Chain A
């Protein structure tokens, strides 16, 4: 069993693990020839099934095992995130599966280049101010290649193929509504405020235990997304309009005419004022806030904005797809979040 890879996009990888870590402490990582899969199945809350193409995080990648070149690992995400954070300024970082005292571990080897003027240990630091002296001095000591090597070891568990054989991605019926989300950070800031509002209501009611905040998320097939929450003191809802409902691909979905979303298209209006045509789910506000933290992956890290789609199965479940575009534009990485709905 061999696994060795150099990390090609440390920032993205760190943000990804940090955002996954907010949902659960342990991840099942499946390494294969084409994909890296991260799966988090917490006791409560949202499941994540992320499938990343190799070149979105790794380059020069080798994976070998007796079980068809697939390695299954149980990785503590907190340790992994912490290790990756120290690699943020690294010139190169390598991840390796090794053994120490017969305990398997992932070794993250980080090379940090010392900036030429950061030779604090050298007595001749003052000379560095003068560029004329600096160059020969550096070359004499080979300072251009001076690197600090740091190795962080993350204990992992190797999972036998039988162990993970029973784990399957959740199955869901065909969604009633699918919609492309507005910018996740905007959505997050509003839903966080809603959660805060609901908490404020609970505080005044003192006697009630810190109950879960039930956020209702709804969407229709006319580009509207609605977020709402109800407390004793108030009910508040925000409606986004002019969003995009992607067309279903006939090659992927059979029977578009009978598809639930086609039916939903008959109902509702584009200004979001009609009561009809909404597919809604009730979810935990704090859990949703954690899911939304994946929005950090977007923005400047990846040049092109990440695209997120929501699929609604009315009163049943919510599926969030986060598409991370890869460099070559072919092999897309997808993070899939399965959020279950509370009953009404």
Chain B
């Protein structure tokens, strides 16, 4: 769209549609996504049954050109109770089909049959050493939104092909954001995204229903654990900060993951970069639906760092820092509503739980089945789970 008499609300150009694709793929778990345009960037958010929401913020620094003009305030956004934005009164908000957008963004390049072949086997050797393909700049992407109610149009160009996609914009739904109280945070920790990913993928092997997060201070040292329970049994991954050099060999890696190789032997500064509990004497324990947490797995796998926070209500916020090309940083946020504890019997058992590594051995996430072979340290609380495991083996 060329600038006409009417100035469009938004025009922006990205040199790499792939970048946008990689970020938006993290929140691809719903048909419709809310899009919020602002001076600072574009925010895409999706929500699942009001129990979980995810949002990706495309900062304007991701784009080579970004022009936003505040539209005349003829229609107020329904989602104006968002505490993130100061003035939401004139922030255009609408819904689009997220799968369609993702399909569009990868229309070139990813499925080009030529790229899977070596250059000499290609049908039309168009790429030279100096072409844009070499720089990964072969997919220019231009996004524009003309007026309120207009379609969101995406124009992708590659060589002599130009693709225009007009995504129908829908009225935003009346979904309120999950309230997360920044003022009363009960717990906060920061760690590597891949460690959280390893933990979650390890726990998912038993296809659990719920994930319990435990955080407390143990002998003056932080202790953070994720445990899962379901029909097939339960498992727990612990994260310990070890201020002393390890005096026994680290536990055998439970899954061959790439991060083990790079951070295994050398002393990592701290597994948990920041560990804050609002009341260090008490133990924080919240449960979440595992299948929902798992939907954030894509973000975990690509994130460099993740900030895990829980407020006093138990709402979990996962904030992922994702490094896109050329050192630019983007954030993808997830929020989860906790499961309500129906019966308090969990509390009694696990409150007494001992740390498996005893605070001096575990360096890096280690998942162990509590039941069966490795569960000697915690056998006291797992009588009923043991039966399940024996039946399986």
Contacts and interface: CB of A to CB of B under 8 A. Distances in A.
Contacts of B96: 233
A239 B161 contact: yes
A124 interface: no
Given A183-B124, A200-B100, A200-B103, A233 B167 contact: yes
Interface in A207-238: 231-238
Given A240-B160, A242-B160, A305 B107 contact: no
A200 B99 contact: yes
B257 to A, nearest CB: 32
Contact of A236 (B31, B113, B121, B166): B166
A200 B124 CA distance: 32
B162 A189 contact: no
Nearest to B107: A193
B100 A201 contact: yes
Nearest to A189: B111
Interface string B91-116: 00000110110011001000111100
B164 interface: yes
Given A185-B113, A204-B97, A241 B162 contact: yes
A116 interface: no
Contacts of A201: 97, 100
Contact of B103 (A186, A197, A272): A197
A193 B103 contact: yes
Contacts of A190: 107, 161, 163
Given A236-B164, A238-B162, A193 B111 contact: yes
A305 B123 contact: yes
A182 to B, nearest CB: 8
Contacts of B151: 234-235
Contacts of B113: 185-186, 189
A260 interface: no
A173 interface: no
Considering residues B112, B124, B161, which has the most beta carbons from chain A within 10 angstroms of its beta carbon?
B161
Interface string A183-205: 10110011001001100110010
Nearest to A204: B31
A168 interface: no
B168 interface: yes
B17 to A, nearest CB: 13
Nearest to B103: A197
Contacts, number: 81
Given A239-B163, A298-B123, A233 B168 contact: yes
Q: Would you call the interface of chain A mostly helix, strand, loop, or mixed?
A: mixed
Interface in A97-112: none
Contacts of A196: 103
Q: How large is the interface on A (under 10, 10 to 19, 20 to 34, 35 or more residues)?
A: 20 to 34
B104 A236 contact: yes
Contact of A234 (B100, B160, B161): B100
A241 B103 CA distance: 22
Interface string A134-157: 000000000000000000000000
Nearest to B111: A189
A299 interface: yes
A272 B160 CA distance: 11
Given A185-B123, A189-B111, A298-B123, A237 B99 contact: no
A212 B286 CA distance: 48
Contacts of A182: 160-161
B165 interface: yes
Contact of B123 (A204, A272, A299): A299
Contacts of B162: 238-239, 241, 272
A298 B100 CA distance: 31
Nearest to A227: B163
Considering residues A201, A234, A236, which has the most beta carbons from chain B within 10 angstroms of its beta carbon?
A234
Given A200-B100, A200-B103, A236-B104, A186 B166 contact: no
Given A189-B112, A299-B123, A235 B165 contact: yes
Interface string A60-92: 000000000000000000000000000000000
A251 to B, nearest CB: 31
Contacts of A237: 163-165
Given A189-B111, A197-B103, A234-B100, A240 B166 contact: no
A234 B164 CA distance: 10
Considering residues B96, B100, B104, B164, which has the most beta carbons from chain A within 10 angstroms of its beta carbon?
B100
Interface in B215-268: none
Interface in A165-183: 182-183
Contacts of A197: 100, 103-104
A183 B123 contact: yes
A254 to B, nearest CB: 34
Contact of B166 (A232, A234, A238, A298): A234
A232 to B, nearest CB: 7
Contacts of A183: 123-124
Considering residues A236, A238, A272, which has the most beta carbons from chain B within 10 angstroms of its beta carbon?
A236
Nearest to A233: B97
A233 B97 CA distance: 6
Contacts of A200: 97, 99-100, 103
Contacts of A232: 168
Given A193-B103, A193-B107, A186 B112 contact: yes
Interface string B72-103: 00000000000000000000000011011001
A242 B160 CA distance: 7
Contacts of B107: 190, 193, 238
A200 B167 CA distance: 14
A231 B123 CA distance: 33
Interface in B145-189: 151, 160-168
Interface string B185-207: 00000000000000000000000
Contacts of B163: 190, 236-239
8 contacts: A189-B111, A190-B163, A200-B103, A201-B100, A232-B168, A234-B151, A272-B162, A298-B123
Given A186-B113, A200-B97, A234-B97, 11 more contacts: A186-B114, A189-B113, A190-B161, A197-B103, A197-B104, A201-B100, A204-B31, A233-B97, A233-B167, A238-B107, A243-B160
Q: Which 3 A-B pairs have the closest CB atoms?
A: A233-B97, A236-B165, A238-B163
